Structure 1
Amino acid sequence: METKKVAVVSRAALFTAAVVAPLLVAVAGVAAGRTNNCTRRCGGISIPPPFGIEDGCFLDGFNLTCDRSHQPPKLFLGDGTVEVLEISVPDATVRVIGGFTYFPGSVDDYSGIPSRVSNPVTAGIWSGALREAGPYTLAVRRNKLVVIGCNVQVLVGEDSSEDLGGCSAVCSRRRDVNPRRPVKDCTGATCCQSEIMLGRSSYRFRILRVNGATGLNSSAFAWIMESGGLLSSHALFDDDYIPLPLPAVLNWKINYTVCHGNTSSAACRSSQSYCKNSTGRNTVPNAHLCYCPSGYQGNPYEPDGCYDLNECKFPKIYPCYGTCNNTEGGYQCSCPPGYEGNAFAPNGCKRSYSPHSGNILSCWANAKSLI
């Protein structure tokens, strides 16, 4: 019995501060048509299509920079502003690393730390230097706002009229806010965190006292960073008590065209691939992604990138309690010779008996009763 394969592509999502330099120079008319002689690794990080470094090796907006002045080399988005940690084609995400946002108060509670920080951001906008209507947005449900401060509330939103998230950090004394005495978890006492529910290319910060009045007596630090478990404030600062640049997750999409008939796109280069338009509030307008169909795996953005998935090698995902045979785009699971039933269920295959074997057993039983 043949069954359709379950798609292994999951559509889920780094950026942690306001970076003020421009990013992602658009390269008009460039298509990832050339695969030979394209750099596919930088500093141990894989560079899959549609990303690339050399002209002709990337789709519009997906150009990267490999900075070999570092040892090992470092990979950056665009022309070299935001460092890349990981690229995922199945999840359509990029993990990147950035900095932090600093809000100065009338009292510096950080023992001179801001004066020793390189280029702290004091503006109220986080953009990650991502261009508007570009291929990148903050990944939904993959990032959170983290704040260190004393009796402050930080809100993030698209503009001053709509808040998308926020949290409040409270303390009894301002001197309690001290990286040298970190709290054990970030649950509201001098440190708070809140999930960001909507993905955007930029956010506006609003910082308030907890009583709602504007203005600050306390300085505050804020990060937009990758979601995880409970966070110790000690993880936010290095050994010299300088705020750490922390990872966050970006979603990416092919943003300059839509699918043709919801099945094909110039970006989907594998013969075994399909295209799906982006929908919903969290998506880039006029954008789409490419996928390998159910029963295939790989990279749909490169020629012959989608290849057959052998389900028989993954029995925990595709259980078969009989004989498993892989087929192109599917697999067969059947009971072995001499058995019948449902090979997809535990103990589903039962030994089969022919009518002749039943007659022989019956005759033997009758003969024994006559003795």
Structure 2
Amino acid sequence: MALSSSRAPLLPLLCLLLTVVAAAKHPKQEKPTPAALAPVVTLEGCPDKCGNVSIPYPFGTKDGCFRPGFFVVCNDTFDPPRPFINSSLALGTDDTRTQIVVEDLYYLTAEDGMPETTPTRSAWPIELAGVSLSDAKARLLGAFSYECRLNETHHSVRRQRINFGVYRSPFLLSDADNVLMGIGSNVVAEQTTGPLCQSYLNLISLSDGPVNGSCSGQGCCQANLPPVRSDSTVTIQKGTMYEDGGYGGGGGGRVDCSYAMIVEKAWYNFSSVDLDSDAFLRRNAAGVVPVVADFTIDGGGCPDAGEPTPKDFACISDNSKCVDRLVYDNSRGHYCSCSVGYQGNPYIHGGCQDIDECARPDLYPCHGKCKNTPGDYECSCPAGKRGNAKQAPCTDLFSLPAKISVGVVGGLFIAALLVFIILIRNEKRKMAEFFEKNGGPTLEKAKNIKIYKKEELKPILRRSNFIGRGAFGEVYKGDLDGQSVAVKKPVDDSDGVHNDQFANEVIIQSRVNHKNIVRLIGCCLEVDKPMLVYEFLSKGSLDDVLHGSRRDPLNLKCRLDIAAESAEGLAYLHSKTTNVILHGDVKPANILLDEDWTPKISDFGISRLIVKDKQHTDFVIGDRSYMDPVYLRDGLLTDRSDVYSFGVVILELISRKKATYSGNNSLVREFLDAHKGKMEATKLFDEEIAKPEVSDLLNSLYEIAVRCLNLDVDERPSMTEVAESILMLKRSWSNTLTKTSSAS
């Protein structure tokens, strides 16, 4: 218990002030916690001090400011005023009042022993020097007893008694904080009840003489107090006079004084100067020494668990607790204390406030990062260290070699991360450049073309999804936006013409809307070679059907439908769009079939938008097995170039033989030679459809193909004429079939 000395009652107040100042020096960066708020000492409107002494509730100096038994009289006749424990509850004789009683006797004699003289008796109230609410202790100023011979004839004797009364007094002498003490060369200190102590000098062995600071019997003695005492009288029994007339070594004209007292432990530090002298008396001329009293709240002990709280229960603050304490006749009393981690006044609402342990490292050690919490605090080691930071400094988590290893690995990781970031940034920059180069800003404006991200198409471009290869790219099948699609990924080229072909194909197909033209869904521009996304056609290409390994059965009606509708698609490109659109690479591989065998023209990679005076191309591109010889020779691509290529397609449809560029295109040559020699071409037709009843139809198709293959461009029919001719054949044959069916 930190209480001030008897002559320095300012210390408790100073300690409180220093605590407040210390808290002010450590302001919280967050909102204030209870530990940062001003402490509550007493009830609202009640004085919290008397002079320099703090008066916390349940003590009080005015009506309504104290609990019964805790009234303090603030005597303002002193400067500064001084507080005294009131004795108004101690009714009865002087022996039952809360007070200090002393008996003084002065006599003049040279004889040993005290004369039969009635001593002078006086009493005064007990002065309050300080209060500690945490352990319910009051520091008081008591008296001490002495017997002092100042010369051969002048004697002064005092016997003191401290009394808290016996009628419901809240105060008891603290046996834990006080001792009975005697000072003298040959003296016995006695108390009303309990052990005594004897102080003497060993005159035979000087080596066993008194030692400063020691109170073990040589010049100074001490004994414990009995528990639960509300009063005690302290007396002195002097030793026998020696032959020289002194007491215990004194004599002649020397001063001989002995002392006895109940006093706060550790208050007095024995000094040989006080032995058989009046030095102690002169230092304590006021005749008072500090005494500690336990105070207890009247009304019985703490309620047991599950019991209702008494109506006038004293421990009313949140975060407070009740502590049992024995009082008179071993009955129970109690006092209040703030819970662990809180401080303040438990007898007042809101009196117990959180302690900011982080602001008081002297009392709450933390060798790491401190964080205050309600009723406690957290103390953790900083990153890279470990240990219990409340008990000892943190130690390194890793040894030096481990740190070096971690540093190297960390450095490599950071380097790899930087490289990765740089690569990602470069990749994004390239994607942006590709997007710009591939006409992204322009194509974004196209309402019927969707621009896909590279990452959206990545799952489709797997080898397991590969379904074929065209003149300008590989084709992969996949699913996008809930529908099956075909993604065309351009192959590497070295002539630098691909970007123009890509943009051309997108522009063309964005303007085309025909049932026999493959629908372009979207494109991806974030790659060097842009990719196109088409609708997926399940039957594959006409080339696969005619010449593939499966060789699906293909009757004449289906072949005639494919020829007619393919011609309609090409005729649409040549004559029914804003500008003439030339395909430039018509062949069975670029005629795709859906599940109903409907043909759709695809692969516009080398198509041209023909406007006036812009019919020549510097590049001859396409499959030479189907290429117009004039276009191959002169680089002149016209609508009749597509007509020539379509003528070859018709020959493949009726013969199911593949045209080849090598050997001067034997398929075309065979049919042209037969026509030139006016020979029947029946043996050139596919056996699956070469039936006598359809020979005229097949010969008519053969004649249309020959007209398309005319080397004189101007003699070739237009695609519109070709489409109309095939459509007329289809109708004529359909009517013949209808009549035959009706006749049968």
- Write the mapping of 1:102-113 to structure 2, written as runs, cut at 5 A: 102=146, 109-111=149-151
Corresponding letter in the other structure for 1:134: S
- Write the mapping of 1:33-182 to structure 2, written as runs, cut at 5 A: 35-79=43-87, 81-102=125-146, 109-111=149-151, 120-121=158-159, 126=161, 128-132=162-166, 134-148=169-183, 151-158=186-193, 163-169=194-200
Q: CA deviation at 1:188?
A: 8.2
Query: How far apart are the structure 2 equivalents of 1:267 and 1:102?
Result: 41
Distance 1:252 1:77, change over 3 A: same
Greater shift, 350-359 or 282-291, is seen at: 350-359
Between Structure 1 and Structure 2, whose CA radius of gyration is higher?
A: 2
Query: How far apart are the structure 2 equivalents of 1:311 and 1:242?
Result: 42
Q: CA deviation at 1:300?
A: 0.8
Conservation of the 8 A alpha-carbon contact between 1:144 and 1:193: no
SS class of match (1:145): strand
Q: CA deviation at 1:41?
A: 0.6
SS class of match (1:274): strand
Conservation of the 8 A alpha-carbon contact between 1:155 and 1:164: yes
Q: CA deviation at 1:305?
A: 0.8
RCO comparison, higher one (Cα < 8 Å, 6+): 1
| Residue equivalent to 2:354 | 308
Corresponding letter in the other structure for 1:52: G
Distance 1:67 1:284, change over 3 A: farther
| Residue equivalent to 1:290 | 336
Distance 1:340 1:99, change over 3 A: closer
Query: How far apart are the structure 2 equivalents of 1:65 and 1:316?
Result: 37
Greater shift, 229-238 or 188-197, is seen at: 188-197
Query: How far apart are the structure 2 equivalents of 1:99 and 1:184?
Result: 23
- Write the mapping of 1:199-238 to structure 2, written as runs, cut at 5 A: 199=227, 200-205=229-234, 208=237, 221-228=259-266, 229-232=268-271, 233=274, 236-238=280-282
Query: How far apart are the structure 1 equivalents of 2:264 and 2:180?
Result: 9
Q: CA deviation at 1:304?
A: 0.6
2:221 matches 1:193:
yes
From 386, 398, 423, the equivalent of 1:341 is: 386
Q: CA deviation at 1:134?
A: 2.1
Conservation of the 8 A alpha-carbon contact between 2:140 and 2:293: yes
Corresponding letter in the other structure for 2:130: E
Query: How far apart are the structure 2 equivalents of 1:259 and 1:100?
Result: 36
Query: How far apart are the structure 2 equivalents of 1:206 and 1:54?
Result: 37
Q: CA deviation at 1:46?
A: 0.4
SS class of match (2:358): helix
Query: How far apart are the structure 2 equivalents of 1:140 and 1:238?
Result: 28
| Residue equivalent to 2:324 | 277
Q: CA deviation at 1:11?
A: 11
SS class of match (1:238): helix
Conservation of the 8 A alpha-carbon contact between 1:278 and 1:286: yes
Distance 1:220 1:355, change over 3 A: closer
Distance 1:73 1:283, change over 3 A: farther
SS class of match (2:131): strand
CA deviation string 1:278-323 (max 9, x = no partner): 25x9997321121111121111112111111112222343333332
Q: CA RMSD in A?
A: 4.3
Q: How many aligned residue pairs are there?
A: 304
Q: CA deviation at 1:246?
A: 1.9
CA deviation string 1:177-206 (max 9, x = no partner): xxxxxx977858995330424342223556
SS class of match (2:318): coil
SS class of match (1:66): strand
| Residue equivalent to 2:493 | none
- Write the mapping of 1:239-254 to structure 2, written as runs, cut at 5 A: 244-254=287-297
Corresponding letter in the other structure for 1:76: F
| TM-score where L is the length of structure 2 | 0.36
Corresponding letter in the other structure for 1:275: C
SS class of match (2:315): coil
Conservation of the 8 A alpha-carbon contact between 1:258 and 1:287: yes
Distance 1:225 1:69, change over 3 A: same
Identity %: 30
Query: How far apart are the structure 2 equivalents of 1:92 and 1:221?
Result: 29
Corresponding letter in the other structure for 2:140: V
CA deviation string 1:93-137 (max 9, x = no partner): 22221323356xxxx73346656x8xx447xxx3x1211252222
Q: CA deviation at 1:277?
A: 0.8
Listed as ranges, the gaps of 5+ residues in structure 2 are: 7-41, 88-123, 204-210, 241-245, 248-256, 416-744
Corresponding letter in the other structure for 1:95: R
CA deviation string 1:66-93 (max 9, x = no partner): 0001111111111471111122112322
SS class of match (1:236): helix
Conservation of the 8 A alpha-carbon contact between 2:385 and 2:394: no
2:359 matches 1:321:
no
From 358, 363, 366, the equivalent of 2:409 is: 358
Query: How far apart are the structure 1 equivalents of 2:238 and 2:359?
Result: 57
More strand by share: 1
Q: CA deviation at 1:12?
A: 11
Query: How far apart are the structure 2 equivalents of 1:284 and 1:14?
Result: 31
SS class of match (2:165): coil
Conservation of the 8 A alpha-carbon contact between 2:317 and 2:347: yes
Query: How far apart are the structure 2 equivalents of 1:359 and 1:149?
Result: 76
Listed as ranges, the gaps of 5+ residues in structure 1 are: 1-9, 16-33, 173-182, 212-216, 365-371
Conservation of the 8 A alpha-carbon contact between 2:214 and 2:270: yes
| Residue equivalent to 1:28 | none
| Residue equivalent to 1:260 | 303
Distance 1:114 1:316, change over 3 A: same
Q: CA deviation at 1:244?
A: 2.8
Corresponding letter in the other structure for 1:272: N
Distance 1:44 1:208, change over 3 A: closer
Conservation of the 8 A alpha-carbon contact between 1:255 and 1:286: no
Query: How far apart are the structure 2 equivalents of 1:147 and 1:101?
Result: 9
| Residue equivalent to 2:509 | none
